[in-house]
Structure 1
Amino acid sequence: MSKIPVYFMPGLAASSTIFERIDLPKEEFEVILLEWEIPLGNETLSEYAKRMSNKVIHKNPVLIGVSFGGILVQEMAAFLNPFRVIIISSVKTNLEFPRRMKVAKTTKAYKLIPTSLILNVENLAKFSFGEKIKSRLKLYEKFLSVRDINYLDWAIEQVILWERTEVDAKVIHVHGDEDDVFPIKYISNAIVVTGGNHAMILFRFRWLNEHLPELIRNGIKKGD
């Protein structure tokens, strides 16, 4: 029996090492880890998604994305024929953005963010994983590998200006009830992980290892 190909896309500025604790049954799944590329000029999110989709060499892949990676895999799905699309700690449309992100779009305040300051490890960790970083900076530093200003400027703008307003009904959404980047009160129709924060790919990996195989195989059954 051929294995199910599962492509993982990390969150904003993060490397694929954030998935090091994810362990899918090797006899059933082939795991492929994707990495962020530096955007080309004024590349749109759709253009970027098309370029990233060229890295997917399997037919009917499973696409799993975290945070901004979750937004990206939804855009990649337009160029592929995925078997499943699963997003973790992310959003299905811009309607699930918190109010501060909607205000940033309207006022264009995101253009005032001094991206060079975000390159500081503590600020980048807060930006990518949420405010509740506590004493885990050394850990987060390990996972934050993309510190290119052009990438950060581009990525922040692509998130804030994301145009999707209609939910793709096929997308499976896994979300923590303590996510401080995309608060659960704005999220609908998600599988809620109790105690999960925006960095739950790191800290609720046991839950994910237990449930991801079934979500990949069978999706969400009626009544779930």
Structure 2
Amino acid sequence: MIEKKHLYFVPGLAASPEIFEYIKLPIEQYEIHHLDWLIPDTKEESIQHYAKRMCDRITHKNPILLGVSFGGVVVQEMSKLITTDKVIIISSVKCKDEIPKRLKLAKITKAYKLFPVKAVTNIESLAKYAFGDTIKKRAELYKKYLSMRDDNYLPWAIHNVLNWSQEIPLPNIIHIHGNNDSVFPIKHVKGCKVIKGGTHSMIINKARPISKILLEVI
């Protein structure tokens, strides 16, 4: 009997584990565990302390960690605290040099503190006042895929993305990235496996080629 590999998936910023619903791996070989976002202890909680709390929920030795976007940053911090088989990031960055200039500018000017948190987290209100099928459909997708609505989480998460201090990439990070990612443009990203036509949300609409790459690397 083949011993299963255990994969722990961390979604993107404020997102629900539902974003992984289209990722397909053979259940006889792999067991997937989803890690929901935790509410920060305080507004000043360090990402290192947060990563430790995420690690506390891992119950298997030598797991494979996989994170999307900000989840990719968090799993890299987690990998500094526990022994892992592999670390895989999708639509994310490996060090601060891969963060684009416009986001670095937002950090310097602290413009990110003006981010309309309520507009993102109060999706139900958006759905009520949405007119037209396209907008309504988008609102339903937001309701489905954005699960973290706590007012403190989003400012904390945005702050920690922009202020991540990783100088150089950790060794052996497996990076999957879309060539049409508008949040972290691929021109700033080095050493990744490219998904053609992949956007920042490709974990949902490019799940098949991503699953294929996962089978090759794990």
Per-residue Cα deviation, 1:10-34 (whole angstroms, up to 9, x for no partner): 0001010111111111111111111
SS in 1 for 2:67: strand
Partner of 1:40: 41
The structure 2 residue matched to 1:181, chosen from 183, 193, 205, is 183
Deviations 1:2-61 (A, max 9, x none): 100000000001010111111111111111111001010121100000110111111110
What SS does structure 2 have at the residue aligned with 1:79? coil
Instruction: Trace 1:120-131 onto structure 2 (pairs within 5 A).
Output: 120-121=122-123
Letter paired with 1:18: I
Q: Which residue of 2 aligns with 1:136?
A: 138
Structure 1 residues 46-125: aligned runs within 5 Å? 46-121=48-123
TM-score for the superposition, normalised by structure 1: 0.88
Percent identity between the aligned chains?
50
State yes or no: 1:149 paired with 2:133. no
Does structure 1 retain, via aligned residues, the 8 Å contact 2:69–2:90?
A: yes
Whole-angstrom distance in 2 between the partners of 1:137 and 1:98: 28
Question: Does the CA-based 8 Å contact 2:178-2:202 persist in structure 1?
Answer: yes
Q: In structure 2, do the counterparts of structure 1 residues 140 and 31 end up closer, same or farther at CA, with 3 Å as the change threshold?
A: same
Query: How many equivalent pairs are there?
Result: 207
- Distance, in Å, in 2 between the alignment partners of 1:155 and 1:10 is 13
Distance 1:156 1:51 in 2: 19
Aligned equivalent of 1:165: 167
Match of 1:128 in 2: none
Q: CA deviation at 1:134?
A: 11
Query: How far apart are 1:190 and its partner, in Å?
Result: 0.6
CA distance in 2, matches of 1:112, 1:209: 37
Amino acid at match of 2:169: V
What stretches of structure 1 of length at least 5 have no aligned partner? 125-132, 217-224
Please tell me the root mean square deviation across aligned C-alpha atoms, in Å: 1.8
Give 1:221's aligned residue: none
Secondary structure at 1:139's aligned position in 2? helix
Q: Separation in 1 of the partners of 2:113 and 2:170?
A: 29
Instruction: Supply the distance in 2 between the matched residues of 1:121 and 1:95 (Cα, whole angstroms).
Output: 33
Aligned equivalent of 1:20: 21
Gaps of 5+ in 2: 127-134
1:219 counterpart residue number: none
- Alpha-carbon shift at residue 135 of structure 1 (Å): 5.9
Q: CA, structure 1 residues 134+177, in 2 after alignment: closer, same or farther (shift >3 Å)? A: farther
Return the alpha-carbon distance in structure 2 between the equivalents of residues 143 and 68 of structure 1. 15
Distance 1:134 1:116, change over 3 A: closer
- Residues 122 and 149, structure 2, Cα contact 8 Å, conserved in 1: no
Secondary structure of the structure 1 residue equivalent to 2:144: helix
Q: Secondary structure at the match of 2:168?
A: coil
Q: Which amino acid aligns with 1:162?
A: W
Distance 1:116 1:211 in 2: 36
User: How far apart are residue 117 of structure 1 and its match?
Assistant: 3.0
CA distance in structure 2 between the aligned counterparts of 1:164 and 1:82, rounded to whole angstroms: 19
For the 8 Å contact 2:121–2:148, the answer to whether it is kept is no
Q: TM-score, with normalisation over the residues of structure 2?
A: 0.90
